[in-house]
Amino acid sequence: MWVWFGMAALFLLLEMTTGTFYLLLIALGLTASGMAAYAGLSLVWQIISGLIISLIGLAAVHRYRRSKGHLATHSDPNVVQDIGQHITVSAWDENGQATVFYRGANWSARIDDGQPAQPGEHYIQAVQGLTLVLRPGRYPAPDTQH
């Protein structure tokens, strides 16, 4: 029983350092497993109870994020400072890839899905790992109407 609670505390501490919220769901599941152990249930039911609580929490978080119109982190300008920055592309290869100079270094770039791969001025639509996802033209002005 105390092993479950100890692991729950460990995942809670890890959650506090990462801020992902998903480790909190695991900690809640581990706590449910500890409660099942305290109630005298078998190891199988302890594991099942923890799994069920974690999955219910995951479903609730997923539903909440979807209802709020969650924007993926890699394309959220409030998270990634590079979104909207302008870059000049001299040439694209046949796969829609390019090497661009940005912030003092060469970056791998690709054209966003459905966009024409033409040289010229582009803006950063998203950052996926070490690859900049570009769109042609100027970054659209944010909607100021509320």
Q: Which residue has the tokens 């040439």?
A: 91
Q: What contacts 113, CB < 8 A, 6 or more positions away?
A: none
Mean pLDDT by 10 residues, the chain (146 residues): 92 87 91 96 96 94 78 65 88 89 90 89 88 87 54
Domain limits, the chain: 2-67, 76-136
Nearest to 24 by CA among 70, 58, 74: 58
CA gap 109, 32 in Å, rounded: 46
Q: What is the pLDDT of residue 113?
A: 87
CA gap 132, 109 in Å, rounded: 5
Q: Are strands 120-128 and 86-89 parallel, antiparallel or unpaired?
A: antiparallel
Enter the pTM of the model: 0.51
Give the pair of three-digit tokens for residue 140.
């659209």
Give the count of alpha carbons within 13 A of 124, CB side only. 25
Under CATH, domain 76-136 is a member of which superfamily?
Nucleic acid-binding proteins (2.40.50.140)
Q: What is the pLDDT of residue 82?
A: 83
Q: What is the pLDDT of residue 4?
A: 93
Q: What is the pLDDT of residue 143?
A: 54
> H/E/C letters for each residue in 1-50?
CHHHHHHHHHHHHHHHHHCCCHHHHHHHHHHHHHHHHHCCCCHHHHHHHH
